[in-house]
Amino acid sequence: MAGKIYLVGSGPGTLGLLSQRAAAVIAGADTVLYDQLPGEEILGSLPAAAEQIDCGKFGGDHIKEQAEIERLLIERARAGRNVVRLKGGDPFMFGRGGEELEAVREAGIEVEVVPGISSALAVPASVGIPLTHRRYTSQVTIVTGHENPAKEGSAINWAGLAPGPGTIVVLMGVKNLPRIAEVLIAHGRDPATPVAVIERGLRRDQRVTVGRLDAIAGLAAERHVKPPAVIVIGGVVELYDPASPALTPPEGTTNLL
């Protein structure tokens, strides 16, 4: 009989925010195909007896292409193994989990999706930035920063997004941060809009860079900001207070601001 495939979201990268269901599924896995975003703490907890296959992507360098990942999922499941596809955050938030779900369904293999806490929500919250606040906005838009905002045929309506009052959360946007800021300002976003760039959220070496929209790219360059990072754009960033004695990380995390 064929095994079962689990598309698992590991959350933002700390065991304290890994769901009980995700932990149970991982513990019973025969094969784990993992990305690098789950982080060392979670990757270090993988069962030693399980086959572990690195599918990470580093700066555009793919250890395994998407088609090969899907082939491995199906191949291992048809061999009767319980297979975990372990992804950072939530498997359907810019993680190509939807494509993997389609491939597995087409192959006729049983599949379960285990949701995870997206870094788009968890990382800003962990440093005291609420994405919505009655004094600022009741709207949040989450976009990928992996595509160039100036390219023709962008899937993101930057012109419609820029002038609104809502919070914008950008994932995978460090490389394109200068162009993102430039395009938002060109389409009407106030240059003085506060921005926070949160590197390696909920990890020991987490770091936060805060500045105006028209200056954040320069600050990020000066501080050598590197991915992974979550970028928050909007008035709610004014609520960030690194000195707040009330702000403590969730149980199970080890980071210090």
* Residues with catalytic function: 35, 57, 172
Please tell me the distance from the alpha carbon of residue 213 to that of residue 237, in angstroms, as a whole number.
11
Please tell me the distance from the alpha carbon of residue 200 to that of residue 224, in angstroms, as a whole number.
13
Torsion, CA 6, CA 85, CA 199, CA 170, rounded to 10? -70
Please tell me the distance from the alpha carbon of residue 138 to that of residue 72, in angstroms, as a whole number.
42
Question: Per the structure block, which two tokens stand in for 73?
Answer: 């999922």
